[in-house]
Structure 1
Amino acid sequence: MNRGKIAFGKINLNLSTIGVDEVQQPQNADASGSTGFKKIDNAKLMQRLDEVSDDLESQHIKDIMGISGFGKKSAKSFDINEQIAKARKIAQVKSVEQEIQHEEDSESDNEIIGPMPTAFKEQKDAPKFATENDEDSDENEGEDDEEDDEKMLERRIPNTHEVQMQHGSRAVLALAGDPSGARMVSGSIDYDMCFWDFAGMDASMHSFRNLQPCENYPIRGLNYSVTGDMILVVSGNSQAKVLDRDGFEKMECVKGDQYISDMARTKGHTAQLTSGCWHPFTKEEFLTAALDGTLRIWQGLRVKEQKSVIKTRAVGGLRTTPSACAYNKDATLIAAGCTDGSIQAWDTRKMFVNTTLCLRKAHQKDVEITSIVFSYLGNQIATRSNDETMKLWDLRALKEPLHTWSNLYSRYDTTDCCFSPDDRILVTGESLPKGPQVANLYFYSTKTFEEVKRIPVANSHIIKTLWHPKLNQLFVSCGNGLVKCYYDEKRSIRGAKLCVVKTHRKKKYTEMGGVSQIITPHALPMFRQEKSKSSRTKLEKERLDPVKSRRPDLPITSGQGGRVASSGGTLSSYVIRNLGLSKRVDDDQDPREAILKYAKEAEENPYWIAPAYKKTQPTPIFSESNNSGEPQSKKSKDE
């Protein structure tokens, strides 16, 4: 038998001769001109699939056992007819499987079932040549994508619902949230610090603790540690404090010597604090900035001295004041915004002698940079200043800002800005100017630099903004003592949502009416009215009264005094008197005589035993007494 043998070359396989036509047969064109494929019953498809799989399995066994051919000659050549038969069977299996999938998914008849035709495949893989219409369509698609991104950014803002918490009546300068999202603290210019527990609050939204940690100094900044068990309190004083989770003091920084000119030789700050923050991952390390022109790193709660001192310098080496400071997320940089309008940064892995990054004239001179914030990725930095601007910077090219937003009036030197958790939105608030009636909260895109949204908050200044990454809730502090919380019903979790569903139960108060007192100093004692005493004095007087205070009986002790002495001298006399068995019996009286006193009365007026046996009681016969004194004769046993 002559067989065609091929050693090298290309095999052109025509699928039309393999037998696919048996499975796929074109339908007659409809009236509309649409074409399709005939459907085969599931039973026939499954039967044909079993036949093909049996043939493939038997052929596979032959190949493994080497029945088809042996030797060197057969290894170098192969049979074309055999390969065509194999390809035909594989194509049949694939076509049947695709038709079964088509039946199960109930797709339309116009879809292609089986192997893709070569003409269609070449048309699909053919290169596309750009035309003018295609360019216009690409531009339109790009604009549509930008519009969709803007809409998506607006949806990411959690502002479907809002809740307000009343801190007090003065401006709330500080706001901080627990890393886990369970608690929040706020501090105001009236020296008060409030603790808010979302799990314990109800719909009334009252704080569970209110204290003044720094006496008569306003609270300028609050910050939770990385573990959430400590709070850094930055006040108008020169000494920062560290409180625990419940507000008890754990540490107070040392005050420096103000008569030493070299600030590096003092043990602490000598002027008012301006800002402070915790280390991103070291538990007991934090950073503070003050008006003495230094940044100080503190480490450890037991050692009350700073670890390092950083001096901020203006042009010419003169001292300048840092008004804001921050760590980046991996703690490799410390950045500070100064009153000379500069942004200075130091590398924590080197000595703090020279700045690693320094940008002069970043903001207007002699105006405080109220906030400096690193993005979550760490590539960008945002600054807010009292020159009514907010700027976005790229740390890789710090010479020029990426964008500058102006006309953002700021009145307080603690007004800040913050990034969204995905770094796509930058949020800040404005102080209330003279003209408008409501202050707004602004949301800007960090990519397009356009305004995404504007939310009217209150008819007062907006000072602090906090976008919590875990809760996905936005907290805003105002100048009228309000703290507002914005959240999304679907995208926000826990936090204020736990408090809204809890109903507030009113306490029942007892009504008390005051009685007017007439003072008559010359009245007689029997008509004189007692002077009104304080409740504490009245309680002390009632406490001394054994009747009103319901004092229990004194214990029985040996010796004189106490309850025993009041009724006799022994315990038995006390028991007899209290049980009512007899009247008081003196210790020197004979008890037999005391009982015989009532013998005559009992005989004349019997009460207990005699009346019961009066009718049946025999007459008693008593033996006669022998007055002579002679002994009676003994009776015999017979008697």
Structure 2
Amino acid sequence: MEQPGTEADAEPVAGPDPELAATMGFSGFGKKARTFDFNAMFEQTRRTAVERSRRMLEEREKKAAQKETESGSQSEGLDSRAASSRPAARTPSSNSASSESDDSSDEEPIGPSLPPQGSLEESDDEIIGPPLPPGYKDSDDEEEEDSMQEEEEDPVKKIPDSHEITLHHGTKTVTALGLDPSGARLITGGYDYDVRFWDFAGMDASLQAFRSLQPCECHQIKSLQYSSTGDVILVVSGNSQAKVLDRDGFPVMECVKGDQYIVDMANTKGHTAMLNSGCWHPKIKEEFLTCSNDGTVRTWDVNNDKKHKGVFKPRTAQGKRVIPTSCTYNRDGKLIAAGCQDGSIQIWDRNMNVHTKFHCRQAHAPGTDTSCLTFSYDGTALASRGGDDTLKIWDIRQFKTPLNSVAGLPSFFPMTDCCFSPDDKLLVTGTSIKKGDGSGKLLFFNRETFKKVYEIDVTDASVVRCLWHPKLNQIMVGTGNGLAKVYYDPIKSQRGAKLCVVKTKRKERQAETLTQDYIITPHALPMFREPRQRSTRKQLEKDRLDPMKSHKPEPPVAGPGRGGRVGTHGGTLSSYIVKNIALDKTDDSNPREAILRHAKEAEENPYWVAPAYSKTQPKAVFAEVESDEDETDDKPEWKKRKI
């Protein structure tokens, strides 16, 4: 039985009809249609697959038995690949060979031939020239591999400290640093209540901040941090209410203040005492964390400023309240850690706020402020910077004793930082100094051995904040003399400070004046001709003499006033009376004498009251004054006046 695609079925269709051709005026219908025998194609493919499998099996047996060298195996693999690819190149059936005389190009298959299965395990690139000996490496590859191995073995070479720039925040200590996740903007805050915004892409070599504000009025800034998406900023200051700003510094949310007269702090809606620290959740962009002197650690939601989200209350060994001085999330946001004033470090599960999950009572010296807690990037280690001048690293799975610790690191500030390097091999912190005792240093410790491997002399003041951005590979440092330094390497670092140092400093603009365009009209009449244009300096001098253009203030009016303007002493009755009283030279120390001074004139020439009642009033009768002698003789004893 023939298939529907055979040549017998296609022959009547392809043959020309002589009558129809004569009628239509052409000799034929073109080329004969191609036909395919699918059974023959399937059979040819099966044979090719069987032959390929047999060759591959033979090659594997030869390799296992003879254990030839790599060069021989490569050459044999190339010969077998070429031999196995030849029969697969002719996929059309033998029945299509009859159409070869019509069009030879129709016989070629579309697209490249399929490679044999054995070649998928080998390289697809064809080797030109003799095969390479085993273990051969290019010299450039060797240098790159050696340099990579050296950097991996020595993490000190990854520290970007070859160049630095200095940002002038102010004159007081820089106590807060924040860098957005993309590394485009830096924010600094300090004891001068200011928060400054620095844009690396928009700055030039003058290194000026593009915005400065005081979001918390007269409270010191203690912590600044961008959210995980970089669209909002958490501001923690010395008051009891944390604030959230957008990227441009406009307020978004302010936490509510709690009732300080309630004993149980879990029943208040917010903090009632000074804040110490705060940070954003690493995964949930709307949640952040704060700790306060009221003895609580609270979580908040940006969309709800009426009440906190959760409350965690650290306790001492006796169950009393203790003040948390620092707080943080771990890398996945499931744990909340707090360092307390009794020297303990307490860690809670985020969803269980009653009992701690990990607890270390004697982490640092009691009565000192644990200034910083930070988790490593792998999430297994916790570093703590204590107020007892120590730096310790802990394994949260064995939280009773520290893995390593180093002492003798002075810390004068309650927000001295420590951070991990992006590859988790180094731990960085700063030291504090007294004025005139040297320079503050940035110290680098090996995470495994805790040996000091590197240090940087920053400035002649304490090093308070340090931040190593993993994307930029740049180190930001806040100092005690109002500077924020950025360390970078032109090769190892990306963007950031590299963008602004290459821009030239903009020239200061001179005083600009609005002058009219000078139109030259040589044949105009004198009354319409414009004066000759002067230089800018001469024009400014002339405008300064003109009272209208220089906006000269009007002098005070002397006298009673004119033109609707009040005189020097005013134009009201009260000002007139005050003026006359002040200018009156008469002495009115005895008011009775001042009144009787006008008695004779009033009696002789009455003007106010007497003329109106002269016809109706009776004659005044006054009592007669008796002498003292008559008074003593006629009056009885009890009426006599006692002297």
**TM-score normalised over the length of structure 2:** 0.59
Between 416-425 and 427-436, report the one with greater CA deviation: 427-436
Q: CA deviation at 1:458?
A: 0.4
Distance in structure 2 (CA, Å) of the matches to 1:518 and 1:101? 95
CA deviation string 1:156-175 (max 9, x = no partner): 00101000101111111100
Partner of 2:357: 356
User: Do the aligned partners of residues 451 and 100 (structure 1) sit closer, same or farther apart at CA in structure 2, a change above 3 Å counting?
Assistant: same
Amino acid at match of 1:454: E
Distance in structure 1 (CA, Å) of the matches to 2:506 and 2:357? 58
Pairing 1:363-442 to 2, within 5 Å after superposition: 363-433=364-434, 436-442=437-443
Does 2:465 align with 1:464? yes
Question: Out of 110, 130, 133, which is 1:100 matched to?
Answer: 130
User: Do the aligned partners of residues 13 and 161 (structure 1) sit closer, same or farther apart at CA in structure 2, a change above 3 Å counting?
Assistant: closer
CA contact (8 A) 1:409 1:433 kept: no
Distance in structure 2 (CA, Å) of the matches to 1:206 and 1:154? 31
Amino acid at match of 1:255: K
Distance in structure 1 (CA, Å) of the matches to 2:363 and 2:134? 66
Q: CA deviation at 1:448?
A: 2.1
Q: CA deviation at 1:485?
A: 0.2
Unaligned 5+ segments in structure 1 are 1-9, 25-48, 62-96, 108-143, 531-639
Partner of 1:487: 488
Amino acid at match of 1:395: I
Work out the percentage of aligned pairs sharing the same amino acid. 50
Does 2:327 align with 1:333? no
Amino acid at match of 2:281: H
Question: Out of 225, 236, 241, which is 1:234 matched to?
Answer: 236
User: Do the aligned partners of residues 184 and 11 (structure 1) sit closer, same or farther apart at CA in structure 2, a change above 3 Å counting?
Assistant: closer
Does 2:284 align with 1:282? yes
Q: Matched residue of 1:369: which SS?
A: coil
CA contact (8 A) 2:421 2:470 kept: yes
Distance in structure 2 (CA, Å) of the matches to 1:365 and 1:430? 21
Q: Matched residue of 1:238: which SS?
A: coil
CA contact (8 A) 2:255 2:305 kept: no
Q: Matched residue of 1:154: which SS?
A: helix
Amino acid at match of 1:169: T
Amino acid at match of 1:364: A
Partner of 2:168: 166
Amino acid at match of 1:288: T
Unaligned 5+ segments in structure 2 are 1-60, 88-126, 138-145, 512-536, 546-551, 566-643
Question: Out of 272, 275, 279, which is 1:273 matched to?
Answer: 275
User: Do the aligned partners of residues 399 and 507 (structure 1) sit closer, same or farther apart at CA in structure 2, a change above 3 Å counting?
Assistant: same
Distance in structure 2 (CA, Å) of the matches to 1:458 and 1:489? 22
CA contact (8 A) 1:184 1:197 kept: yes
CA deviation string 1:407-459 (max 9, x = no partner): 11111101110001111110000111366321111001101211111100001
Pairing 1:447-462 to 2, within 5 Å after superposition: 447-462=448-463
User: Do the aligned partners of residues 103 and 287 (structure 1) sit closer, same or farther apart at CA in structure 2, a change above 3 Å counting?
Assistant: closer
Partner of 1:249: 251
Pairing 1:137-286 to 2, within 5 Å after superposition: 152-286=154-288
User: Do the aligned partners of residues 101 and 343 (structure 1) sit closer, same or farther apart at CA in structure 2, a change above 3 Å counting?
Assistant: same
Q: CA deviation at 1:200?
A: 0.6
Amino acid at match of 1:167: H
CA deviation string 1:189-219 (max 9, x = no partner): 1110001111111111111000000011011
CA deviation string 1:487-541 (max 9, x = no partner): 01101111110000111112133388999x999999999xxxx9xxxxxxxxxxx
User: Do the aligned partners of residues 11 and 495 (structure 1) sit closer, same or farther apart at CA in structure 2, a change above 3 Å counting?
Assistant: closer
CA contact (8 A) 1:153 1:452 kept: no
Distance in structure 2 (CA, Å) of the matches to 1:100 and 1:480? 67
Q: CA deviation at 1:307?
A: 1.1
Pairing 1:30-49 to 2, within 5 Å after superposition: none
Amino acid at match of 2:506: R
Partner of 2:119: none
Amino acid at match of 2:355: N
Alpha-carbon RMSD across the aligned residues, in angstroms, is 3.9
Q: Matched residue of 2:154: which SS?
A: helix
CA deviation string 1:357-395 (max 9, x = no partner): 010110011000000000111100000012111101111
CA contact (8 A) 2:151 2:158 kept: no
Amino acid at match of 2:471: K
CA contact (8 A) 1:191 1:219 kept: yes
Amino acid at match of 1:432: I
CA deviation string 1:256-282 (max 9, x = no partner): 000001100001000000010111111
Amino acid at match of 1:356: K
User: Do the aligned partners of residues 186 and 11 (structure 1) sit closer, same or farther apart at CA in structure 2, a change above 3 Å counting?
Assistant: closer
Distance in structure 2 (CA, Å) of the matches to 1:309 and 1:100? 73
User: Do the aligned partners of residues 100 and 281 (structure 1) sit closer, same or farther apart at CA in structure 2, a change above 3 Å counting?
Assistant: same
Q: CA deviation at 1:57?
A: 5.9
Partner of 2:525: none
Q: Matched residue of 1:237: which SS?
A: coil
User: Do the aligned partners of residues 522 and 318 (structure 1) sit closer, same or farther apart at CA in structure 2, a change above 3 Å counting?
Assistant: closer
**TM-score normalised over the length of structure 1:** 0.59
Q: Matched residue of 1:100: which SS?
A: coil
Q: Matched residue of 1:264: which SS?
A: helix
Distance in structure 1 (CA, Å) of the matches to 2:290 and 2:64? 79
Between 188-197 and 303-312, report the one with greater CA deviation: 303-312
Distance in structure 2 (CA, Å) of the matches to 1:239 and 1:520? 51
User: Do the aligned partners of residues 430 and 101 (structure 1) sit closer, same or farther apart at CA in structure 2, a change above 3 Å counting?
Assistant: same
Pairing 1:540-619 to 2, within 5 Å after superposition: none
Amino acid at match of 1:229: D
User: Do the aligned partners of residues 104 and 432 (structure 1) sit closer, same or farther apart at CA in structure 2, a change above 3 Å counting?
Assistant: closer
Amino acid at match of 1:502: K
Q: CA deviation at 1:104?
A: 14
Amino acid at match of 1:473: Q
Distance in structure 2 (CA, Å) of the matches to 1:230 and 1:308? 21
Distance in structure 1 (CA, Å) of the matches to 2:184 and 2:504? 19
Amino acid at match of 2:131: Q
Q: Matched residue of 1:352: which SS?
A: coil
CA deviation string 1:604-630 (max 9, x = no partner): xxxxxxxxxxxxxxxxxxxxxxxxxxx
User: Do the aligned partners of residues 13 and 360 (structure 1) sit closer, same or farther apart at CA in structure 2, a change above 3 Å counting?
Assistant: closer
Pairing 1:1-80 to 2, within 5 Å after superposition: none
CA deviation string 1:267-314 (max 9, x = no partner): 100000001011111111111100000001112324421111110101
CA deviation string 1:78-135 (max 9, x = no partner): xxxxxxxxxxxxxxxxxxx99932599999xxxxxxxxxxxxxxxxxxxxxxxxxxxx
User: Do the aligned partners of residues 358 and 101 (structure 1) sit closer, same or farther apart at CA in structure 2, a change above 3 Å counting?
Assistant: same
Distance in structure 2 (CA, Å) of the matches to 1:336 and 1:213? 26
Question: Out of 323, 326, 351, which is 1:324 matched to?
Answer: 326
CA deviation string 1:239-262 (max 9, x = no partner): 000001110001100000000011
Q: Matched residue of 2:367: which SS?
A: coil
User: Do the aligned partners of residues 101 and 192 (structure 1) sit closer, same or farther apart at CA in structure 2, a change above 3 Å counting?
Assistant: same
User: Do the aligned partners of residues 314 and 100 (structure 1) sit closer, same or farther apart at CA in structure 2, a change above 3 Å counting?
Assistant: same
Amino acid at match of 1:400: T
Distance in structure 2 (CA, Å) of the matches to 1:173 and 1:250? 23
User: Do the aligned partners of residues 294 and 104 (structure 1) sit closer, same or farther apart at CA in structure 2, a change above 3 Å counting?
Assistant: closer
